[in-house]
C-alpha cells in the first residue's frame, strides 16, 4: 500500500453556507472507478457490515482538521478525492480530502439525514419527505423525489435502483432519474431503520424483521423479537445479524441459528447478569468471523462466529460508553467514545493500542462521538458531535505515556 508522509499542517476553516453553484474552480474529481470508493455509506457498505477493507496502523498524525459551524450526529462518507458530511441544522458539506478545504456546501431548507453515495450521485433524505440526488462535484440537485413521510435513515443502492423507506412506505426509484418504479404502503407497520440488502431487502419495523423479495414484490418471511431492533441489520453472505439488546444470527430464510447475550464482569471478576449490564447499544460490525459491538456497560466486545456458534472473544473497557458503531479491520478496531477520545484496539485480542483526544479535557461533552469513522488506505476520517473533523494519516509521532494516559 502507498504510505503517506507525515504532514505538519493544521487547517482550521469555519464553513459558510455558500450556494452550491459557488464551486471552487479547481474542484477535486469524483470517480468511484478509481478503486478508492470503500466508504460510500456510514457503515462502509450497503450490507452495513462496518468492515474496513484497509487496516492502517497507529500512531496517526493529524494531517488537517476543520470545524463545522453546527453539531452533527452523522458519519463522514468518502469516494475518490471528496468527503461528505451533514450537520444537525440541515446543511451538507463537501470537502477536499487532501487538505480539508470546502468544495461546496448547501442548506437543504429542512432537517436532512445521513447522506450516502450511489455510483454517480450523493443521495440525501429529508424530514419533509424529499429524497435528493445531487451532483457530488458541485452539490446541485439532479433530481428530487417527493415521498409520503419523512425518510427513515438513508437509502440503499441495488445497481440501477434506489430503495428507501418512510414511516409506512417502501419505495424503489430508478437511480438516474428518480422515477418511481415501485411503491408499497404497509398500513399500520412503522419502519424504524434504513433497509439492508443481500438475498432479500431486509426491512425493520420496531421488533419486526421482514425479508422482502424485490423481484416478486412480496414479503417472504417475518421474524419477531422480544425488543425493538437496534440499528439496521448486518448482512454477510447468507447470514443476517440483528440486535435487540442481544445478538441474533439468522440465515436468509429467517431461521435463528444462534443467540449471544453478553454478561460483563466487574473489576473484581464478578459476573453482572442484570438486564442492563450487557445490553448491546448499537448495530454490530463484522470482519470475516469477528463481530464487534459497544455495550451499555462502557466496553467494546468481540465475539467469534464459528462452527460452535457465537462465542466470547474479548472485551475492552473505556472511560465512557461508545454511542456509535465501530469499524473492524483485519488488524485493528476503530471507534470514538463519549469521553472525547478516538480509540484503536487490536482485532485479534482487544488490546488497547492508541487513542487521540479530540479537544481539551474540559470540552469532553462537546467532543462525544455519534458517528462512525471512515477508513481509507492509510488514513482515517473522524468527526465528533461538535462538528470537529480530523484527517489522520499513518506515520504520526508516537504519543508519550502521559499523553495517552490523559
CA-to-CA distance for 378 and 401, rounded, in angstroms?
Answer: 24
Split at pLDDT 50, 70, 90, the class of 159 is confident
The domain made up of 32-404 has a fold known as Methylamine Dehydrogenase; Chain H (2.130.10)
Query: What residues does 316 pair with on adjacent strands?
Result: 300
Q: Report residue 373 as a C-alpha cell.
A: 469513522
- pLDDT the model gives residue 363: 66
- Map grid coordinates 471512515 to a residue: 374
Question: For 5-19, 163-177, 258-272, 305-319, which range has the lowest pLDDT when averaged over its residues?
Answer: 5-19
User: Cβ–Cβ contacts within 10 Å for residue 36, how many?
Assistant: 15
Asked if the bond preceding 59 is cis, omega within 30° of 0, the reply is: yes
CA-to-CA distance for 90 and 110, rounded, in angstroms?
Answer: 6
pLDDT in tens, 115-124: 999 888 999 9
CA-to-CA distance for 390 and 97, rounded, in angstroms?
Answer: 10
CA-to-CA distance for 117 and 157, rounded, in angstroms?
Answer: 9
Residues 37-55: what's their mean pLDDT?
Answer: 84
Query: What residues does 346 pair with on adjacent strands?
Result: 332
CA-closest candidate to residue 163, choices 129, 209, 190, 131: 131
DSSP 6-49: P-------B-----TT---TTPPP--GGGS---BSSTTSSTT--
Query: Residue by residue, what is the 3-state secondary structure of 187-243?
Result: CCCCCCCCCEECCCEEEEECCEEEEEECCCCEEEEEEECCCCCCCCCEEECCEEEEE
Question: For 4-8, 41-45, 71-75, 166-170, which range has the lowest pLDDT when averaged over its residues?
Answer: 4-8
CA-to-CA distance for 344 and 352, rounded, in angstroms?
Answer: 7
Percent of the chain with pLDDT over 90: 66
- pLDDT the model gives residue 6: 34
Model confidence at 11: pLDDT above 80: no
- Map grid coordinates 408499497 to a residue: 184
- pLDDT the model gives residue 4: 32
| Residue of higher predicted confidence among 271 and 146 | 146
pLDDT in tens, 74-88: 999 998 889 999 999
Domain extents for the chain?
A: 32-404
pLDDT averaged over the chain? 86
Alpha-carbon dihedral sign for residues 320, 339, 241, 132 = positive
Amino acid at each position: 500500500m502507498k504510505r503517506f508522509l507525515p504532514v505538519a499542517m493544521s487547517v482550521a476553516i469555519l464553513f459558510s453556507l455558500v450556494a452550491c453553484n459557488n464551486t471552487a474552480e479547481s474542484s477535486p474529481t469524483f470517480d468511484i472507478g478509481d478503486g478508492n470508493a470503500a466508504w460510500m455509506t456510514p457503515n462502509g457498505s450497503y450490507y452495513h457490515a462496518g468492515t474496513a477493507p484497509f487496516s492502517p496502523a497507529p500512531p496517526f498524525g493529524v494531517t488537517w482538521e476543520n470545524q463545522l459551524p453546527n453539531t452533527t450526529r452523522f458519519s463522514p462518507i468518502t469516494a475518490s478525492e471528496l468527503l461528505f458530511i451533514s450537520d444537525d441544522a440541515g446543511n451538507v458539506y463537501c470537502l477536499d480530502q487532501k487538505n480539508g478545504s470546502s468544495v461546496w456546501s448547501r442548506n437543504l431548507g429542512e432537517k436532512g439525514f445521513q447522506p450516502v453515495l450511489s455510483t454517480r450521485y450523493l443521495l440525501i433524505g429529508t424530514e419533509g419527505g424529499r429524497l435528493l440526488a445531487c451532483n457530488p462535484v458541485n452539490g446541485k440537485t439532479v433530481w428530487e423525489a417527493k415521498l409520503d413521510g419523512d425518510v427513515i435513515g438513508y437509502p440503499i443502492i441495488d445497481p440501477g435502483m434506489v430503495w428507501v423507506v418512510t414511516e409506512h412506505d417502501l419505495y424503489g426509484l430508478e437511480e438516474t432519474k428518480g422515477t418511481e418504479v415501485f411503491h408499497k404502503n404497509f398500513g399500520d407497520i412503522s419502519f424504524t431503520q434504513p433497509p439492508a440488502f443481500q438475498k432479500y431487502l431486509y426491512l425493520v419495523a420496531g421488533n419486526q424483521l421482514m425479508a422482502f423479495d424485490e423481484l416478486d414484490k412480496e414479503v417472504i418471511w417475518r421474524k419477531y423479537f422480544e425488543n425493538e431492533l437496534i440499528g439496521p441489520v448486518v448482512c454477510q453472505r447468507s447470514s443476517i445479524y440483528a440486535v435487540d439488546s442481544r445478538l441474533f444470527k439468522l440465515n436468509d430464510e429467517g431461521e435463528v441459528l444462534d443467540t449471544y447475550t453478553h454478561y460483563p464482569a466487574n473489576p473484581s471478576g464478578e459476573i453482572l447478569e442484570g438486564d442492563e449490564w450487557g445490553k448491546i447499544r448499537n448495530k454490530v460490525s463484522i470482519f470475516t468471523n469477528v463481530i464487534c459491538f459497544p455495550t451499555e456497560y462502557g466496553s467494546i466486545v468481540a465475539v467469534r462466529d464459528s462452527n460452535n456458534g457465537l462465542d466470547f472473544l474479548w472485551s475492552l473497557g473505556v472511560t465512557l460508553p461508545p454511542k456509535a458503531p465501530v469499524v473492524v479491520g483485519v488488524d485493528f478496531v476503530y471507534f470514538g467514545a463519549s469521553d472525547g477520545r478516538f480509540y484503536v484496539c487490536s482485532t485479534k485480542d482487544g488490546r488497547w493500542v492508541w487513542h487521540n483526544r479530540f479537544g481539551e479535557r474540559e470540552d469532553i461533552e462537546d467532543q462525544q462521538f455519534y458517528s462512525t469513522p471512515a477508513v481509507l488506505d492509510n488514513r482515517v476520517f473522524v468527526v465528533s458531535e461538535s462538528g470537529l473533523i480530523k484527517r489522520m494519516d499513518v506515520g504520526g509521532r508516537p504519543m508519550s505515556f502521559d499523553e495517552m494516559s490523559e
